Amino acid sequence: MTNATADKLIALPGAMLSMREADLMLGGSDKVLEIPVPSFLIEHRNGLVLFDTGCNPRVAVEPEAYWGPLAKLLNVRMSPEMAVDRQIRAHGYDPADVKFVVVSHLHLDHAGGLALFPHAKFFVVKGELPYAYWPDRHAQPAFILEDLLPTRRFDWNEVTEDTDLMGDGSLQMLKTAGHTPGECSLFVRLKQDGPIVLTGDTIHIRAQLETLKGMAIDYDLEQAGESIRRLRRIQDLGEARLWVSHDPDDWANYPHLMK
Ligand SMILES: [Zn+2]
């Protein structure tokens, strides 16, 4: 069975950030965009799957102490109930029932809630974990060591290529590296709403699908461009729709519950 479907896809709100378009995409304008930081909960018959974990709960209380200068630079706004475990509870699930966590990459607005799921099985593209612990100097502020250290003994599984997570075609990790060494996207097949790819930070805003340009802080700009091109092809061929995680229009336009 390679065309099975997941049962539900729920978009969970996280913090809001303010960023110039130019910082999200090379060649962008000075316009400041208000961007969401979602995580996604997926119901699959094998158990609950979480894609990304948002910001650490401490960011809601003491953003500058936890994130350093980036808290102000990104103008992070997060209320305590936006923590991913509280969002999961708000939808009637127990966070302890999350069996699988897939992380698009380990930047501070995606890896903040990792430690909330000590019993889950974690999936990440090989190369991301060591880089997050010991990044290049310029990339260092975007990884928070305290997000990662409590997870050292967790059940981490590193994949080296596209991976069919459940072996049934419903959830597939797509290696779309470049933004970071192990950036990935998640292909989700749904019965009613059809296939959709959660892009993580492979793409930050829809305009990149036209310009095919990455962002200044990308780990490997050429590879990032190739990965954007890959997602654009998926969209153009009608293989799936794309949900660009940080894109304000996608957040406004897609239903936050799909089946
Ligand atoms: Zn990122």
- Is residue 1 assigned to a domain? no
Mean pLDDT of the region 123-135: 98
The conformational region for residue 188 under phi > 0 = left, psi -120 to 50 = alpha, else beta, is beta
Give the Cα separation of 61 and 80 in Å (integer).
7
pLDDT band per the 50, 70, 90 thresholds, residue 1 = low
- Whole-model pTM: value is 0.97
Residue 173 has pLDDT above 90, yes or no: yes
Residue 26 has pLDDT above 80, yes or no: yes
Q: Ligand 1 center to residue 107 CA distance, Å?
A: 5
Give the tens place of pLDDT for each residue, 144-157. Answer: 999 999 999 999 99
Asked if 146 and 66 touch (Cβ cutoff 8 Å), the reply is yes
Mean pLDDT of the region 219-240: 98
- Is residue 3 assigned to a domain? no
Q: Ligand 1 center to residue 201 CA distance, Å?
A: 5
Q: What b-and-e string marks burial along 16-46, b requiring 16 or more CB atoms within 10 Å of the CB?
A: bbebebebbbbebeeeebebbbbbbbbbbee
Q: Ligand 1 center to residue 257 CA distance, Å?
A: 24
Mean pLDDT of the region 33-54: 98
- Is residue 190 assigned to a domain? yes
Residue 160 pLDDT: 98
Give the tens place of pLDDT for each residue, 237-246. Answer: 999 999 999 9
Domain hosting residue 47, numbered range: 8-254
Task: Copy the structure tokens of residue 143.
Answer: 């990884």
Q: Ligand 1 center to residue 3 CA distance, Å?
A: 30
Mean pLDDT of the region 3-9: 97
Residue 67 has pLDDT above 60, yes or no: yes
Residue 45 pLDDT: 97
Q: Ligand 1 center to residue 2 CA distance, Å?
A: 31
Residue 50's CATH number: 3.60.15.10
Q: Using only C-alpha atoms, what is the Rg of the chain?
A: 17
- Is residue 259 assigned to a domain? no
Number of structural domains (the chain) is 1
Asked if 241 and 235 touch (Cβ cutoff 8 Å), the reply is yes
